């Protein structure tokens, strides 16, 4: 039997079952209407990595009397019992954010003795890496994508419980990190909306000075299909994947490329090459290879554009194609009875707007600055999350302790 870690005097090793005051209960999933009617039901999407997201609730039927047995109250805990391995066991504390709200069958509900454990402390504890590792080790299922936990697994969740004043102090301290993460996340969302609006306006040429000349040209007038030599061997080469939704290019560690007599040929690419996934152009499947992926290979399912840089900046082209209003409407042009794709001929026939080379640079610089700001904010967000995970691990296992004078303030209140 695994030896329990040593903890300070006054702290206790418990199982969640000893703190539960109402039996763990699965929810109920009715047939839901499309129109909102003042009655709501949660789903797995409401339980996020960072807590509760009320916006994902769906309308629930008003005429289903069974719903009443599953209405939530402030102080209820919800935990997902079926999901992917990284999401199963996600937990939130319901604080009455939505009125007339019930929970579905894929979630379990329980309440705890608030005289023994702070709800806010427990919510943070149940989202810690300590509990995540336990849940993942207990999850089971025949599907590789969906696994399950049951009531017994939840009841046996190990809890390291400090005295109540210290629980409150720890919960408040961690809440400051939650606030920083939430504010940064909201700022990123606002900046991304602002970027999309700026991209639509600036790329369309609507706000261009009246004396400028924006031409509508076919891509083939300023680009050609790059000629690439087929590889005779692909030993020790690394495969590239063009990610969807304009998210760039990454190294593919999942697939091992193989050369066969009747299989696809492979080609080498270099930093700065403009790649298009012909089957996924309408899903934002195009990108420019960054320097760190120079020399990667792809099959001939990927088209490489050769851009005439004297007329067209490849980065201006990327910004124009990456406007969702542009690439999503290309789907109806794609041919094929099974997996549809654009042909090279169709790619070269795509129409783009072409301002002067100087304007292209100005537009690209403006959009790149905005995009870099978002990138830095996302990096900051990840640092906040990483620091919070580290702090949670240290404080919830008593490796780091709240100062006695701070705990005393909670004892006095």
In a domain, 274, yes or no: yes
Radius of gyration, CA atoms only, the chain: 27
Helices vs. strands in the chain: H and E counts, helices first: 9, 23
Domains: count for the chain:
3
pTM of the full structure? 0.79
In a domain, 7, yes or no: no
Residues 82 and 187 occupy one common structural domain:
no
Residues 296 and 363 occupy one common structural domain:
no
Residues 238 and 126 occupy one common structural domain:
no
Surface-to-core class of residue 274, CB atoms within 10 Å of its CB (0-12 exposed, 13-18 middle, 19+ buried): buried
Residue 289 near residue 275 (C-beta atoms within 8 A): yes
Residues 398 and 329 occupy one common structural domain:
no
Pick 400 or 367 by higher pLDDT. 367
CA angle in degrees (0–180, nearest 5) for 59-63-69: 80
User: What are 171's two structure tokens?
Assistant: 């919960």
Expressed as residue numbers, the domain containing 80 is 12-161
User: What are 96's two structure tokens?
Assistant: 């009455």
In a domain, 141, yes or no: yes
Mind listing the pLDDT tens digit for each residue in 73-126?
999 999 999 999 889 999 999 999 999 999 999 999 999 999 999 999 999 999
Residues 143 and 259 occupy one common structural domain:
no
pLDDT on residue 1: 40
In a domain, 1, yes or no: no
Residues 28 and 97 occupy one common structural domain:
yes
Mind listing the pLDDT tens digit for each residue in 31-84?
988 888 889 999 999 999 888 999 889 999 988 989 999 999 999 999 999 999
Stretch (H or E) spanning 25: strand 20-26
pLDDT on residue 71: 96
Residues 18 and 137 occupy one common structural domain:
yes
Distance between CA atoms of 387 and 173, rounded to whole angstroms?
13
User: What are 402's two structure tokens?
Assistant: 């709240």
In a domain, 3, yes or no: no
Helices 164-204, 357-396: crossing angle, 10 deg rounding = 170
In a domain, 303, yes or no: yes
């Amino acid at each position: 039997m695994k030896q329990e870690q040593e903890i300070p005097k006054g702290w206790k090793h418990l199982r969640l079952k000893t703190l539960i005051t109402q039996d763990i209960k699965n929810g109920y999933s009715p047939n839901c209407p499309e129109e909102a009617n003042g009655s709501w039901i949660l789903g797995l999407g409401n339980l996020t990595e960072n807590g509760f997201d009320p916006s994902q609730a769906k309308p629930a039927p008003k005429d289903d009397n069974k719903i009443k047995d599953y209405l939530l109250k402030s102080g209820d805990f919800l935990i997902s019992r079926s999901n992917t391995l990284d999401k199963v066991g996600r937990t939130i504390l319901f604080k009455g954010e939505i009125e007339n709200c019930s929970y579905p069958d894929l979630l379990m509900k329980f309440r705890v003795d608030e005289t023994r454990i702070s709800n806010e402390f427990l919510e943070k504890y149940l989202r810690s890496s300590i509990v995540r590792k336990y849940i993942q080790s207990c999850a089971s299922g025949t599907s590789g994508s969906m696994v399950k936990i049951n009531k017994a697994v939840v009841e046996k969740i190990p809890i390291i419980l400090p005295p109540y004043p210290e629980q409150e102090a720890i919960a408040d301290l961690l809440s400051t990190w939650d606030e920083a993460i939430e504010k940064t996340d909201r700022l990123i969302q606002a900046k991304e909306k602002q970027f999309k609006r700026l991209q639509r306006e600036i790329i369309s040429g609507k706000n261009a000075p009246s004396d400028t000349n924006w031409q509508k040209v076919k891509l083939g007038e300023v680009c050609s299909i790059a000629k690439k030599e087929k590889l005779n061997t692909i030993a020790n080469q690394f495969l590239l994947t063009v990610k969807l939704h304009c998210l760039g290019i990454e190294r593919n560690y999942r697939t091992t490329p193989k050369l066969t007599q009747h299989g696809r040929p492979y080609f080498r690419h270099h930093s700065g090459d403009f790649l298009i996934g012909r089957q996924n152009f309408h899903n934002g499947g195009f990108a420019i290879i960054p320097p760190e992926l120079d020399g990667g290979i792809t099959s001939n399912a990927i088209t490489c554009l050769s851009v005439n840089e004297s007329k067209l900046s490849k980065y201006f082209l990327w910004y124009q194609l990456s406007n969702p209003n542009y690439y999503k409407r290309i789907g109806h042009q794609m041919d094929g009875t099974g997996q549809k794709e654009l042909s090279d001929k169709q790619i070269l026939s795509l129409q783009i707007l072409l301002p002067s080379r100087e304007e292209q640079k100005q537009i690209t610089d403006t959009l790149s600055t905005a995009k870099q700001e978002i990138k830095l904010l996302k990096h900051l967000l990840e640092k906040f999350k990483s620091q919070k995970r580290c702090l949670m691990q240290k404080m919830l296992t008593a490796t780091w302790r709240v100062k006695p004078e701070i705990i005393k303030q909670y004892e006095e209140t």
